[in-house]
Amino acid sequence: MDGYIIPTGFIRFDVIFSLAFAIVTALVSAYAYRLYKLTSQKGLALFSGAFLSISVAYIIQTIFNFIIRYRIGELISRLARREAVFPLKILSAYFYTIFFAIGLVLLTYMTLKTNKTRILALLLGVVILPIIITQQALRIFHITALVLLLFISYFYYTNYTKHKNLQSLLILLAFIFLFMSNIQFAISLRQRLFFIAARSLELVAYSCILISLGLINKKK
């Protein structure tokens, strides 16, 4: 199975990055769920589920990166570490891609504004199955994620043209940055420096979401 080529010195920062993204996405999920409990709008529940799934993906990535960086490195010799780290990286990549893909599928389904669960089942099947059965899960995941993120970004572009406010602009920018970071991640499977660029773009994307959430909360 393929894997990201992360610059060695960046792994410790990567743990912080993925933990920060896990917190932001969990926050969005919890926020949407609180509003769902108040309004019973199905879209909010779906949205909450999507961000929860993405948050779980980042939590898994954080835990595995933490184990790889701080535990295995300290306890096992260099040769043994190389053997032990490899299956951990595979497991991490599988769980990360599956949960992130579920999140993106739920977001895409939300943008379709339909109640037909058959469409959701189809999307889940088409997106998740190739990731599970292939040996190049990350490659397949990033190609699929590019398509889904392009679709979601276009949806948020139309949403911005409808409302024309700063909050919806920030959400549009967030998904454009996530789309761009996904391109960098795909390249980082071969070139290590692109991984840092991808993470930086993700940081900008989640900052946009956080600022937007802050602005919405200010309306109180």
Our finding on whether 111 is near other proteins (CB under 8 A) is yes
Contact in structure between 102 and 53 (CB atoms under 8 Å): yes
Minimum CB separation of residue 106 from other proteins in Å reads 13
Residue of 41, 114, 161, 191 that binds other proteins (CB under 8 A): 41
As to burial, measured by CB atoms within 10 angstroms (0-12 exposed, 13-18 middle, 19+ buried), residue 104 is buried
Our finding on whether 22 is near other proteins (CB under 8 A) is no
d(CA 195, CA 184): 7
d(CA 174, CA 168): 10
d(CA 19, CA 192): 21
Our finding on whether 212 is near other proteins (CB under 8 A) is yes
Our finding on whether 78 is near other proteins (CB under 8 A) is no
Nearer to other proteins, 179 or 185 (CB): 179
Residue of 15, 22, 24, 44 that binds other proteins (CB under 8 A): 44
Our finding on whether 109 is near other proteins (CB under 8 A) is no
Site string for other proteins, 115-144 (x = CB under 8 A): ------------------------------
DSSP code of residue 3: -
Angle between helices 193-218 and 166-188 in degrees, nearest 10: 160
Residue of 4, 21, 47, 64 that binds other proteins (CB under 8 A): 47
Look at residue 76 and give its three-state secondary structure.
coil
Site string for other proteins, 158-187 (x = CB under 8 A): -x---x-x-xx-xx----------------
Concatenated DSSP letters for 114-173?
Answer: ---HHHHHHHHHHHHHHHHH-S-HHHHHHHHHHHHHHHHHHHHHHHHHHH--HHHHHHHH
Size of the site for other proteins (CB under 8 A): 27
Tokens of 105: 């599928």
Minimum CB separation of residue 128 from other proteins in Å reads 24
Residues lying near other proteins in the complex (CB under 8 A): 31-32, 35, 38-41, 43-44, 47, 110-111, 155-156, 159, 163, 165, 167-168, 170-171, 212, 215-217, 219-220
